[in-house]
């Protein structure tokens, strides 16, 4: 075999090898593209689910806060009622003591 035929054969082998590598790279590129599309789709779905969960959680917390506020106002109303009753009782005691002093000074 001559040197030129040998160089041609080596060149052809090199070209076949490069074409095979190119095909492999194209397949790998297509596979990576599919994986990226799948990842992006899963990410979008997860975001939607997370958004729903967070919205539900926020609503539950708002309802809980509203219950606590209602409870606070009920407690404050009861405390105000007790304070008013206490104040009325103290006024009666003061009036009773004042009357007692007046009666004691008249005698």
DSSP class of residue 107 equals -
How far is residue 57's CA from residue 45's CA, in Å, rounded to a whole number? 18
Which residues contact residue 94 at a Cβ distance below 8 angstroms, ignoring those fewer than 6 apart?
A: none
The pLDDT tens digits of the residues spanning 29-40 come to 999 999 999 999
User: pTM to 2 decimals?
Assistant: 0.52
- pLDDT for 101: 81
Query: pLDDT at residue 105 above 90?
Result: no
Query: pLDDT at residue 94 above 80?
Result: yes
- pLDDT for 28: 98
Looking at residues 65-84, what average pLDDT do you find? 97
């Amino acid at each position: 075999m001559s040197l030129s035929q040998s160089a041609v054969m080596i060149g052809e082998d090199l070209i076949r090898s490069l074409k095979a590598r190119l095909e492999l790279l194209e397949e790998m590129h297509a596979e990576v593209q599919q994986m990226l599309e799948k990842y992006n789709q899963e990410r979008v779905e997860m975001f939607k689910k997370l958004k729903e969960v967070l919205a539900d959680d926020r609503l539950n917390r708002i309802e809980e806060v509203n219950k606590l506020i209602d409870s606070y106002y009920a407690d404050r109303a009861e405390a105000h009622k007790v304070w008013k009753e206490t104040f009325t009782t103290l006024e009666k005691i003061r009036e009773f003591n004042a009357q007692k002093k007046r009666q004691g000074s008249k005698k």
